[in-house]
Amino acid sequence: MTIHHTAIIDSDAELDSSVSVGPYAVIGKGVKIDAETIIGPHAFLSGPLTIGKVNNIGAFSCIGAPPQDIRYKGEETFLRIGDGNVIREYCSIHRGTPSGHGVTTIGNNCMLMAYSHVAHDCTIGNNVILVNNATLGGHVEIGDRVTVGGMTAVHQFSRIGEYSFIGGMSGISMDVPPYVIVAGIRNDMQVRGINKIGLKRAGFSNEDIRKLGHAFTMIFKTKDLLLKEALEKVKKEIPDSVPVAKMVEFFAVSNRNVVRLSSDDE
């Protein structure tokens, strides 16, 4: 274990012997840090907080602070961070609330770039990228391999489906389906198309991408079908695609409006 002599570590904190802690870092009560994680200078960590293996926590980040919820009265809530994440300078991640999940969760191999914020009760999957200044409101759910562009704000309780890409400076106030590219603000949010580049990089087959493109056309570009009719048509015409089935299911379980306006709709 390498701990700079200026770091302050509560006696209740539990750090693996391979953890590195930089100058002036503060690690509070109830913090547990697993093997080979690096804590940068001036980072502030407060518990209850668990951090997995091989994470890199940047300078001046604030990890595990109480939720910004006026109903919060000091109850025990949690933040859990998985393995292999990069959390850059000045990031902030808050614990859950008793009225929510009680826990905020970050998966594995995510990159949270400088000044990004994850509010209370958020659930973030694996391989997610939050670009500089991306901000998540409370209770946001983000699927695996999502990229949220810089200076984008995501409204509380919104869901962002897996493998989607959110353009920079967007304002997300509705659920975003999986596998698509979205950009815009509130009533001007637009679905630009299937995230073909992201899907290819993730190893999706050309056939899966073709079927998603066909489903996209029926759901987002067929003007004479209601959403329910479009989803039924997709299920009938493309019954054998797991990604397409996931897209249809996303609409079915949404408790909010799902963005459906495509870039060529006026």
Rounded CA gap, 107 and 81, in Å? 6
Which candidate in 94, 101, 117, 120 is catalytic? 120
CATH architecture, domain defined by 2-139: 3 Solenoid (2.160)
213 is catalytic: no
pLDDT for 266 equals 43
Rounded CA gap, 156 and 151, in Å? 16
**pLDDT average per 10 residues of sequence, the chain (266 residues):** 95 98 98 98 98 98 97 97 98 97 97 98 98 98 98 97 97 96 88 96 97 96 89 96 97 89 62
pLDDT for 263 equals 65
Q: Domain coordinates of the chain in residue numbers?
A: 2-139, 199-253
Cβ neighbourhood burial of 2 (10 Å; 0-12, 13-18, 19+): exposed
Rounded CA gap, 65 and 44, in Å? 9
Which candidate in 138, 143, 161, 193 is catalytic? 138
Which candidate in 34, 69, 83, 121 is catalytic? 121
Give the tokens for residue 184: 């815009």
User: If residue 57 lies in a helix (H) or strand (E), which one and from where to where?
Assistant: strand 56-57
> What is the pTM assigned to this prediction?
0.95
138 is catalytic: yes
144 is catalytic: no
- Listed in sequence order, the residues at least 6 apart from 183 whose beta carbon sits closer than 8 Å to its beta carbon are 149, 166, 167, 168, 170, 189, 190, 192
Alpha-carbon separation of residue 194 from 134, 238, 240, 266 (angstroms): 22, 16, 19, 19
CATH, domain 199-253, list 2.60.40.1890, 1.10.10.10, 1.20.1180.10, 2.30.110.20: 1.20.1180.10
Under a CB-based contact definition with an 8 Å cutoff, are residues 25 and 10 in contact?
no
Under a CB-based contact definition with an 8 Å cutoff, are residues 181 and 213 in contact?
no
